[in-house]
Amino acid sequence: MAGYAMNKDDYLKRLARIEGQVRGLRRQVEEDTYCIDVLTQISATSAALRSLAVGLLDEHIRHCVTEAAIGDDQEEANRKVTEATKAIERLVRS
């Protein structure tokens, strides 16, 4: 089971909204919208994606990492922390 299982519907709704934002961006470019207005919309879309990623990281640490720790599988817990850290690093640089 994925760490975000309990909030799956919420994530799907947010992703549908983000898809709509990207479609809005295409429309803006098609209609030759002023660069700065397109950039404002890109920042809003990026922020929505980031916020989603932070939410998934929270669920991953809250469920996947702690379950491995509680399950006394120290190696598995360590592996999951390393995965989380690498995901944080990728996110910060993306």
Give the pair of three-digit tokens for residue 68.
Answer: 């491995």
Rounded to whole angstroms, the Cα distance separating 58 from 52 reads 10
Please work out the total of residues on this chain that contact a copy of itself, with binding judged by CB under 8 A: 65
Rounded least distance, CB 20 to a copy of itself, Å: 9
Print the binding letters for residues 34-73 with a copy of itself: x by CB under 8 A, - otherwise.
xxx-xxx-xxxxxx-xx-xxx-xxxxxxx-xxx--xx-x-
Cα 11 from chain centroid (whole Å) = 9
**Applying CB under 8 A, does 75 fall inside the site for a copy of itself?**
no
Rounded least distance, CB 94 to a copy of itself, Å: 4
Whether the Cβ atoms of residue 52 and residue 14 lie closer than 8 Å to each other: yes
